[in-house]
Amino acid sequence: MKISLITVTYNSCITLKDTIDSVRRQGLIDLEYIVVDGGSADGTVELLKESSDVVTRWISEPDKGIYDGLNKGLVMTTGDIIGIIHADDVLASSDTLKSIISVYDANAFDLLYADLMYISADNPDKVIRYWKSGLFEFQKLRKGWMPPHPTVYFSRDVLNRVGFFDTSYTIAADYDWMLRCLCLANLKVAYLPQVTVKMRLGGASNRSLKNLIKKSYEDYRAIKKHRIGGVRTLFYKNFSKLGQFVRKAKAQ
C-alpha cells in the first residue's frame, strides 16, 4: 500500500525543515511525499532541492491560499491512502505512518483519524493542548465533534466521492470537507488512539480575533450546509476544546 503525504507551505522554511525531517524518520515504507510551495522567497526552494531523498515531487508557484495549494497536491497524488502534514507540524514518532498502515492492513478503513498534540511554537517540548479524539458516532457531529484534520488519512475512493476542498471557505474548508466525508453513507471509519501529529500553536484560524470570528462564521455556514445543527452546534464545537487544556498535563 502506498501512502501519499502532502505538505503545503509558504515562507515557512525553518519549520518546514522539521516537518520534512519527521517524514524522513518514517523509514522504509511505500511513501509518496509531495510539497506544494506558494512561491516562497525564504530558502524553501533550496531546502526542497536538498531533500530529494524524501520529497518525491514538489512545485513552487503562486496560489490562492492553503486550500488551493492542498487541491494542487491532491491532483498530484497517486497513493492508495492520502494524508496531510502542515509545514508547522511534525509527525509524532518514527512509527506514525507504520501504525497507520497496520490499521489499514487489519481494517481497510475509508477514513482514519487519531489524536493530536498542540505544542508551543517557541518550545516544541511544551504541550499546550492535547486533543483526544475518541470514537466516531454520527450524532456527535451535532454536538460540534470533529476529529483533528491533520491526523486524518483517507482512501482514494473517498477522494473520488467527496472531491476537493471548497476554496470559497478561506479558513474552514477543512471542516466543510470533513463533514462531507463523515456524512457519506457506509463510510468505514477507524480511530487510532495515539498522537500522530504535533502541531505548533498559531495556525491561521486563531491568529487574531478577526480570524476567530471569520472561522466561526464559516463553521456555521458548513453546519447549516450539511444540516447537522445550528448555533448550538457551533457553541459546542468552540467550547468543547476547553477540555484539551486540562488533558495536556496527562500528555506531558
Helical axes 209-225 vs 173-182, angle rounded to 10°: 30
Cell of 155: 482512501
10 has pLDDT over 50:
yes
DSSP 57-108: EEEE---SSHHHHHHHHHHH---SEEEE--TTEEESSTTHHHHHHHHHHHH-
Assign 249 a pLDDT band (cuts: 50, 70, 90). very low
Assign 221 a pLDDT band (cuts: 50, 70, 90). very high
The domain total for the chain is 1
pTM of the model: 0.91
Assign 116 a pLDDT band (cuts: 50, 70, 90). very high
* Stretch 128-142: mean pLDDT: 95
CA distances from 56 to 39, 40, 76 (A): 18, 19, 11
Domain that holds residue 67: 3-251
Structure confidence by residue, pLDDT tens digits, 35-92: 999 999 999 999 999 999 999 999 999 999 999 999 999 999 999 999 999 999 999 9
CATH code: domain of residue 213? 3.90.550.10
> Residue 5: beta bridge partners?
33, 83
